[in-house]
Amino acid sequence: MSPSEQAPRQDARVTTGVPGLDGVLGGGLVTSGVYIVVGEPGAGKTLFANQLCYHQGRGGARCLYVTLLAESHARMLANMRDMAFFDSALLPESVYYVSGFRTLEEQGLPGLLELLRREVRNHNTSILVLDGLVQAQEAAGSSRDFKKFIHELQVSAGLSRFTALMLTSSNGPTVHPEYTMVDGILELRERTLGVRSWRELQVRKFRGGATLSGVHTFRISNDGLEVFPRLEARMRRTPPPDPGSERVHFGIPSMDALFPGGLAKGSTSLMLGPPGSGKTLMGSSLLAEGLKRGERCLYMGFYESPERLLHKAAAAGMDMGGAVKDGRMHILWQPPAESILDVLADQLLSAVRRHQVSRVFVDGLSAMSQASPDGSRMSSFFAALTQELRLSCATTIFSLETPRLFGPALDMPLEVGPSAVAENLFFLRHVELEGRLRRLLSIFKLRDTEYDPSIREFIISRQGIEVLPPFDVALDTLLTGLARHRTGGHP
């Protein structure tokens, strides 16, 4: 193999400095590789390339940023001065900007190629960014000339040992035939559904290693780009640890008596019920019991603010304020606004691992599902999330709101999946009986333990939650919410 045909090195990676992206790329870009970053104007290409340059510059690398655009470098730098990754001390030694606009206009692709080679050599460059590849493509006399330009750039990258990024707008087809010559293609795009928009990244092509397939969400803030790999793609596929004989209880004697064997440690439970049926307090009782046993617990909610949650729990006999102050109880509160599904998952799993949490209550699986514009994804997402929680040995309850207060039908607000993946399934419901609205508890399934299948009424007071004995009379249509006596008497 001649020097001009050398393949990119497989034993070294160029980290991007973009949180989450190196995980998608399997460790980063391959050294001496040539990559195309494609996306519509405003997709984040220029920001991404600069973020990579300043990250590499802080590590001692020398980065050359060549623009083929009419926009001045002063304007570009002014737009980045408030970004966290920007560091003026790296200019011009570690990050050096050159305009190739006039050279391209006057000398075409041969002149541009010579400019790139000269500047790479003069600055001992290890990272080259060519911003405005579409202008180079338009300046090419033919498709063959453009292919030759890319080939010569690849040869230079192999000989001079630099990694190149070429940024281009996605005018027309996303991938041109010439792009098949490069080592990788990263596509950035913005999606819109109704009034909502979100950003996505996809690795269209990558030589030199495995990447996480599919679409991944990213966001842009003052910190720059931050990628959140799709949970289903990065899920660990190792079996969860054996929980052994350790069991978990709610700490409600009358409820725990319905399944004396308790829940398996590390299991996932789903608490179904309409608004006001008691889901939040039921889930909170699992955490309160864990705190009594010296365990670390976590509450993730969308509707109850931390203050309201603690006040509500205290009114039912569960004082968790002290545990929050001393760090044994952690609260993640997400206002019910636009969120990113993989961001929520990352926040939850990071907190569980960082704080070594053993009991988790996610209050509002319905709100979490609204963070995904693709409702059909929730089944696989929930399976991946529960798998990660099991690997952390966290016993978890998800509350899921059902839309009907009364009626013979039970509507599952999500696709089949959450109820199939969860080992344990509880159902809370209201019933109107003799002019009173009562709360009911029924257990649909518990895995690996026996349970009482009878429908029970429960009450919530300042003393806590109490599950009452079975009804002492026969009732029809109890779970419809509109019960009738089959015999005289009162329950």
Mean pLDDT within 394-398: 97
Identify the residue with better confidence: 489 or 373. 373
pLDDT surpassing 50 at residue 8: no
Mean pLDDT within 78-105: 94
**CA nearest neighbour of 57 among 21, 91, 20:** 91
Q: Are 46 and 76 in contact (CB under 8 A)?
A: yes
Q: Are 201 and 186 in contact (CB under 8 A)?
A: yes
DSSP 8-class letter at 482: B
**Alpha carbon 333 to chain centroid distance?**
16
Mean pLDDT within 266-279: 93
Q: Round the average pLDDT of the chain to a whole number and report it.
A: 88
SS3 167: strand
In the chain, ranges of CATH 3.40.50.300 domains = 3-229, 247-485
**pLDDT tens digits for 434-488?**
767 889 999 999 988 999 999 899 999 999 999 999 876 555 555 554 555 555 4
In this prediction, residue 151 has a pLDDT band, given cuts at 50, 70 and 90, of very high
Residue 374: count of CB within 10 angstroms of its CB: 10
φ and ψ at residue 167, rounded to 5 degrees: -100, 135
Give the CATH number of domain 247-485. Answer: 3.40.50.300
Give the CATH number of domain 3-229. Answer: 3.40.50.300
pLDDT of residue 448: 86
**CA nearest neighbour of 134 among 107, 168, 102:** 168
> What's the pTM value of the predicted model, to 2 decimals?
0.86
DSSP assignment string, 269-331: EEEEE-TTSSHHHHHHHHHHHHHHTT--EEEEESSS-HHHHHHHHHHTT---HHHHHTTSEEE
Adjacency order of strands within the sheet including 359-363: 329-333, 297-301, 359-363, 395-401, 268-273, 424-433, 436-445, 456-461, 464-467
